[in-house]
Structure 1
């Protein structure tokens, strides 16, 4: 399996709505490694790494997030895989 790595920055009402925890649980369900964190400007940043279709599913998920989120824009960057394992919520 070829691994891919995508990084997203999600804009909108995305903090205080369980975005990070739901992202972690959803990623683990798709067997996607990576991390998610809140940024000081009110956005959420996440890195997804794994099989291309699973990472694409997480990028799609980021466009709406959990119930209570209101996503207005998603910035996407493709990056070189880092060999990430597990999925963590970063401070």
Structure 2
């Protein structure tokens, strides 16, 4: 399957519960490229790039997250590889600062 880039916004109780670290671990275990960050509105934003089936499986897991989280909704869209430019130089998957 070909690679795809998906951009998601996760709403619910997803800050202060280890959600970003959980995403980083899950994405790295799946060898995905991308990044994750908290947003000031209380949501978490992430970009995942990799094989279609792997990215879709990652997003499916994001609907649950770590046991301390409560996910109310996920909005996602297909994006381009330019969405990966936010990563820290030299990193495959980055945890970015809150915006």
Q: Which TM-score band (shorter chain)?
A: over 0.9
Q: Distance in 1 between matches of 2:40 and 2:48?
A: 21
Unmatched runs of 5 consecutive residues or more in structure 1: none
Partner of 2:12: 12
> Normalising by structure 1, what TM-score?
0.93
Partner of 2:58: 58
**Structure 1 residue 81: deviation in Å?**
2.7
Partner of 1:47: 47
Partner of 2:92: 86
Unmatched runs of 5 consecutive residues or more in structure 2: 85-90
- More helix per residue: 1 or 2? 2
- DSSP-derived class of the 2:81 partner: coil
- DSSP-derived class of the 1:45 partner: strand
Against the structure 1 CA distance between its residues 75 and 83, is the aligned structure 2 distance closer, same or farther, given a 3 Å change threshold? closer
Asked if 1 retains the 8 angstrom alpha-carbon contact of 2:39 and 2:45, the reply is: yes
- More strand per residue: 1 or 2? 1
User: How many residue pairs are counted as aligned between the two chains?
Assistant: 91
**Structure 1 residue 20: deviation in Å?**
0.5
- DSSP-derived class of the 1:74 partner: strand
